[in-house]
Structure 1
Amino acid sequence: MAAPSKPAESGADLELVGITKQFPGYRAIEELDLSIPAGSFFALLGPSGCGKTTTLRLIAGLEEPTSGRILIGGSDVTGQKPHERPVNTVFQSYALFPHMTILENVSFGLKRRGVSDYKVKAIEALKLVELDHLAGRKPSQLSGGQQQRVALARAVVNRPALLLLDEPLGALDLKLRRQMQLELKTIQTEVGLTFLHVTHDQEEAMTMADTVAVMNRGRIEQLGAPQELYELPRTAFVANFLGQSNLFTGEVLEATDALIALEVGGRRVVVPAARAARRSGQVTIGVRPEKLLLHLEEPSLDGVNTLGPGRVVDVSFSGVSTQYLVAVPGVGQIIVFSQNLVHGAVINRGATVWLTWSIEHGFGLEDIAETRPHFDDEASAPGLPGVVAEAV
């Protein structure tokens, strides 16, 4: 039996080299290369079926790759069994021993390994998650959030080189989940371990991670800091999966070192050349809903793009903001998020509006997004030809 790799107190870097995973009938992972620096909080984000959980299971040793290598702290662990790897996993199901106390749960692994001061280390881990005062209770006497923190303490107490988090907050309610997001990030900073967090929750990934990899169909679509991915997505998938985006496809009218201009809905729309991946032919550009402003009269402003007129076909109040759905002839339906600075919606359904956004807030994609339906039926919106009268 191979000797377990030695855990690093400050975490270890993880490297996946040409990882492929073939299941009968389909390929879950396609030539995946990934490098995660030691001590970082890394999120693998994507929809169900994209391959993120398979990737985690490969790293944990619960699955074997069809090809490729897995290195932790520079050591090749591809052929090692799960218990031989310097890795611990925290699952969505807490997997605590119901007949043991919290202290016994956390110290279980240490005790089995013959660590002499296992109780002291277990108490330290419980203090880290602020549950040392509940050490004598059973799991059934704790809330869901408390049980998840116990599971985290049990994983951290072993000081693994790498901690894998598999949708760990999915079973919690919204308020507790947001609280735990902040606590997890604080704990990761304090213990200095390398965290790999697998999730489908965009907010969760962006709140906690230093780096996010958006995964799609067994490949990493884009990787970077959360703000970078949000402000400058490279593909339509990333633009729509990480938050919401308004995407417009049009023919390039002009391309210079400074800007790219397209025709969208009969208007000239500009994006900075530095924020665009394509410069000729059909190009898809986008803008986030919160970057848009609504106007009841056609504006005449410098340094902005303008679309319209359109009609507000839906208004949804969500607390901190109001979502407007605006149908624009020849363009489609555009989403606008407006912060509630007064008492909710300030523009009513049915209003005629124009939309503007700063040129610097636009981005251009590498691929071409599917075109939205253009509303060419004049009967669809009485009084404003070409606009639908209801939201889809």
Structure 2
Amino acid sequence: MAQQAFAESGADLELSGITKRFPGFTAIEELDLTIPAGSFFALLGPSGCGKTTTLRLVAGLEEPTSGRILIGGKDVTASKPYQRPVNTVFQSYALFPHMTVLENVAFGLKRRGIRDAAGRAHEALRLVELDHVSGRKPAQLSGGQQQRVALARAVVNRPALLLLDEPLGALDLKLRRQMQLELKSIQSDVGLTFLHVTHDQEEAMTMADTVAVMNKGRIEQMGAPQELYELPATAFVANFLGQSNLFPGEAVSSSGDLLVVGTGGTRLSVPRERAQRHSGEVVIGVRPEKILLHSEEPDAVAGQNVLGPGRVVDVSFSGVSTQYQVAVPGLGTLVVFSQNLVYGSVVSLGAVVWLSWGVEHGFGLADDPASIEQPGRFVDDTDTSAIALQQRAALEAELDEA
């Protein structure tokens, strides 16, 4: 019943040509963004990228230098915060400590003279499964419960748009993961438009239908979480959403379905349809978990990229997987994630290994190789194919002697 009471559709949010300048720097530059009604949308990025400023502009807490903000087709650019069909849930719960849970949730309704404020507050608390603690004070609740009360207080006003500003940042890891699923479930139940601001990649990918990765006041890439992870368009996205092994090189062949790139004295292939650039200097990459480790050189198989020999220079156990860093002559240090299916590491520190991955797992970036800074992952400026081959020959000779 509580879900039905709040099942009112949200509203579209449109940002058109939004620029926000502060003295000495520009926080947001020419931002165009449309968020469909009823969607769960995440703005993801590092500190200082402009995501929180964007949220404050939508809430009316900041004024844009230029551009327009429309909610449900209505221009609210010049509207005061209280005139907008928007509510915000902050990282700090901002609950009144002297009031009960019910009084906290009903507070805004009573100030606006809404009839049956207590009844609507109970409905909101049932939605977040906390009606049984309605008579308690906030100090008597856990952090997760307080966050859900803050959410109920925002939802009870039935806004067209709910803004979430790092709402789970104060919670411990286990509780944060639990709340991620609960927030997604509540959003699906009530049908409101959620705009969630976070720097936590897992949080954004777990909850949001669409993720926009922000960098330096601009949206670097936007799409479904799986799409962004599996097919990043830029080095920033590839390394902000997880980790990536990136290889700059020269496109030596681009016929048929494959793009072949010469890099570090070897050749690697990637599907043409998964590459942003197909000629000249390019950057291709692969995620660490897509790579397989081999203690012996694998046979050449169509559809497989093979690198090696390389040496394991670091082994880090992380629970579900083990991270290996493998130094490959001519290519720097690559990262490999191996799922822990057996006790202990698959290979030991100092071991000589080969690496392979399916061509279909690779991707090609839009970046110019010269614009990317990735110490330890790229061929050094002084490196050439001849030097790479010499390094590989030296390692192979060392292996033979052993």
The question of a shared fold, defined as TM-score above 0.5 by the shorter chain, is answered with yes
C-alpha separation in 1, matches of 2:296 and 2:165: 50
**1:283-324 CA-partner distances (Å, limit 9, x unpaired):** 000100000000011111221101111000111111111111
User: Which residue in the other structure is 2:166 paired with?
Assistant: 167
Contact 1:181–1:207, Cα closer than 8 Å, also in 2? yes
- Cα displacement (A) at 1:126: 0.6
C-alpha separation in 2, matches of 1:124 and 1:88: 17
C-alpha separation in 2, matches of 1:280 and 1:120: 65
Amino acid at match of 1:239: A
The SS at the match of 1:384 is helix
**1:160-192 CA-partner distances (Å, limit 9, x unpaired):** 000000000000000000000000000000000
User: Which residue in the other structure is 2:395 paired with?
Assistant: 384
- Cα displacement (A) at 1:8: 9.6
* Percent identity between the two aligned chains: 77
Contact 1:270–1:305, Cα closer than 8 Å, also in 2? yes
C-alpha separation in 1, matches of 2:72 and 2:215: 27
**1:241-278 CA-partner distances (Å, limit 9, x unpaired):** 01110000011111124111011222110000000010
Amino acid at match of 2:97: P
C-alpha separation in 2, matches of 1:250 and 1:121: 62
User: Which residue in the other structure is 2:209 paired with?
Assistant: 210
C-alpha separation in 1, matches of 2:327 and 2:131: 56
User: Which residue in the other structure is 2:363 paired with?
Assistant: 363
User: Which residue in the other structure is 1:308 paired with?
Assistant: 308
**1:223-255 CA-partner distances (Å, limit 9, x unpaired):** 000000000000000000011100000111111
C-alpha separation in 2, matches of 1:117 and 1:98: 23
Amino acid at match of 1:246: N
Alignment root-mean-square deviation, CA:
1.9
Q: TM-score, normalised by structure 2?
A: 0.91
User: Which residue in the other structure is 2:40 paired with?
Assistant: 41
Contact 2:7–2:191, Cα closer than 8 Å, also in 1? no
User: Which residue in the other structure is 1:129 paired with?
Assistant: 128
Contact 1:329–1:386, Cα closer than 8 Å, also in 2? no
Unpaired segments ≥5 residues, structure 1:
1-6, 388-392
User: Which residue in the other structure is 1:276 paired with?
Assistant: 275
**1:29-72 CA-partner distances (Å, limit 9, x unpaired):** 00000000000000000000000000000000000000000000
User: Which residue in the other structure is 2:81 paired with?
Assistant: 82
C-alpha separation in 2, matches of 1:142 and 1:231: 40
C-alpha separation in 1, matches of 2:72 and 2:343: 54
Which moved further from structure 2: 111-120 or 226-235? 111-120
User: Which residue in the other structure is 1:292 paired with?
Assistant: 291
Count of residue pairs the alignment pairs up: 379
| Structure 1 or 2: more helix by fraction | 2
C-alpha separation in 2, matches of 1:349 and 1:127: 54
Unpaired segments ≥5 residues, structure 2:
1-5
Q: In the TM superposition, what are the counterparts of 1:216-295 in structure 2 within 5 Å?
A: 216-295=215-294
User: Which residue in the other structure is 1:353 paired with?
Assistant: 353
Q: TM-score, normalised by structure 1?
A: 0.94
The SS at the match of 1:187 is helix
Contact 1:329–1:374, Cα closer than 8 Å, also in 2? no
The SS at the match of 2:395 is coil
C-alpha separation in 2, matches of 1:151 and 1:229: 31
Contact 1:102–1:137, Cα closer than 8 Å, also in 2? yes
C-alpha separation in 2, matches of 1:140 and 1:153: 17
Contact 1:45–1:201, Cα closer than 8 Å, also in 2? yes
